[in-house]
A = this chain, B = another copy of it.
Amino acid sequence: MPTEKKYALHERILLDIEARILSGEWPPGHAVPYEVDLAQSYGCSRMTVSKALNRLVRAGLIERRKRAGSQVAQPRTQSAVLEIPEIESEVRSMGAVYGYVLMSRVRRKLLKGDREHCSMPLQAPVLELVCLHLAEGRPFCLENRLINLAEAPEAAAERFETVAPGPWLLKQVPWSDARHVIRALAADARTALLLQIAEGAPCLVVERETSLGGNSITCVRLTYPGGKYELTASFTPTDKTKAVPSAMP
């Protein structure tokens, strides 16, 4: 039987230990063998074991302390990875024709009421956009967006009549982190009218504030008719980041 060369040694070690933890064989608090012992039993050097164990630390599966050794971490919360795709690809992946309509575009200053959902400074110059995303010609998602023109001045020159602000910003402006809030709300009169649903109907609302180094760049509220849309998230024990196909510019 030829040795399966699919995984590198340090990955095999990682997977072995991960399997023991996830299977419950090593419950939280259980001691993980010392680096030197693992190195001996795998017939490899300590560095190779160290690499595997340190990746498990970053994945949150184990904790390590000098002199005390390594032990299986106590699971604190269930964490899941939520993929939030571009609305256009979301619609297309349903096999529907995608459509986009700009409803309004206003340049103004940030008011006190905006601060409820958004951490830009008061009086900041913003571009307020209201857009509708369509699937098969019918309303799919209502987008309310504020763009901080102090951080993204290029947006002032863009009409956003044919291109949605989401993809435009993603290409144009660098960002470092995002905060999402997900809630269920009843449709108010204006939302109900635009989404063509009954007033008071449940809606899934995703709010996202994107910023670069503490400065809020844009703040978006996506309102989906409830029951027509759902978010899915899956738990990943290890930090297996999927390789994304990259198109060259």
Chain A positions within 8 Å of B, measured between CB atoms, are 22-25, 27-29, 57-60, 63, 71, 73-86, 89, 170, 173-186, 200-205, 208, 212-213, 224, 226-227, 229-237, 239, 241, 243-244, 246-249
Contacts and interface: CB of A to CB of B under 8 A. Distances in A.
Contacts of A244: 60, 73-74, 76-77, 179
A77 B86 contact: yes
A176 B23 contact: yes
Counting chain B CB atoms within 10 Å of each CB, the highest count among A185, A203, A231 belongs to: A231
Contacts of A243: 63, 76-77, 79
Contacts of A24: 173-174
A178 B247 contact: no
A208 B76 CA distance: 16
B83 A182 contact: no
A232 B28 contact: no
How many copies of this chain does one complex carry? 2
Contact of A83 (B79, B224, B227, B249): B79
A84 B77 contact: yes
A177 B200 CA distance: 36
A81 B182 CA distance: 12
A241 to B, nearest CB: 5
26 contacts: A23-B174, A57-B241, A58-B58, A58-B241, A60-B241, A63-B243, A71-B246, A74-B244, A74-B247, A81-B82, A82-B82, A177-B235, A179-B232, A179-B234, A180-B232, A180-B235, A181-B231, A182-B182, A182-B204, A183-B204, A183-B226, A184-B204, A184-B224, A184-B227, A185-B227, A186-B227
A89 B77 CA distance: 10
A246 B27 CA distance: 13
Contacts of A82: 79-82, 233
Contacts of A213: 22
